[in-house]
Each structure stands twice: as C-alpha cells, then as structure tokens.
C-alpha cells in the first residue's frame, strides 16, 4: 500500500484535490494507494506511514525545512505543480506522485 499525503496550510484546500485523485486512482484500477490531506501542523503525525508527501504550492516555502526533517526516512517530497493544483487536476497530481514513488523505489 502506497500512502500519498498532500499538505497545505489547513488541509482544506487539498481535500478536494484528494477526492479528484481518488477518482483517478479508481479509474486506473489502483487499489493499493491511499491518498490523504492534512495541514502542515498535523503532517508530522503521519511521517511514519507516508511514502510520498506533496506540498500545495502555497506552502512550497516548507520544502527545504521538510527536506531536512525527512532526511533518512523513505519519503519522497515534492511540490504540486501550480497549474495542476489550481485546476484540481487529480489525474495529473496522482501521476506525479506515482512517478516520484517509482523513481525512488518507494
């Protein structure tokens, strides 16, 4: 089971994107993917069971700090493409997460 966590300021703006990603995963027949949204404050409570952590564009400033925090953990970190985020393109963001996890062997 791969767990993809989306992080934004409060977790609410990524919730809709999570739904779109889940729909895209269902259409692809993916049953081994869990997608969740959380706030930046709550994210640390989920590091142990996360494979891919995607930051919303509005919290991209957290990238360098999280890169240090996650060093040594098997979590792939990236920022969601601003266009895909703005368009709520769940399929594209799912593809981004899956590609990252495949590259890192997660």
Residues belonging to the active site:
8
H or E element in which residue 73 lies: none
**Ordered alpha helix ranges (H), 1-104:** 13-27, 63-69, 82-86, 90-104
Query: What one-character DSSP code corresponds to residue 43?
Result: G
SS3 67: helix
Query: Does residue 93 contact residue 17 with C-beta atoms inside 8 Å?
Result: yes
């Amino acid at each position: 089971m791969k767990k993809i966590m989306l992080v934004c300021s409060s977790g609410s703006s990524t919730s809709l994107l999570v739904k779109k990603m889940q729909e895209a995963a269902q259409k692809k027949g993916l049953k081994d993917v869990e997608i969740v949204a959380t706030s930046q404050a709550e994210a640390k409570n989920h590091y142990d069971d996360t494979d891919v952590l995607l930051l919303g564009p509005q919290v991209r400033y957290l990238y360098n700090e999280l890169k240090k925090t996650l060093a040594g953990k098997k979590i792939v970190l990236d920022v969601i493409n601003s266009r895909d985020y703005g368009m709520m393109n769940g399929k594209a963001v799912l593809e981004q997460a899956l590609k990252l996890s495949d590259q890192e062997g997660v």
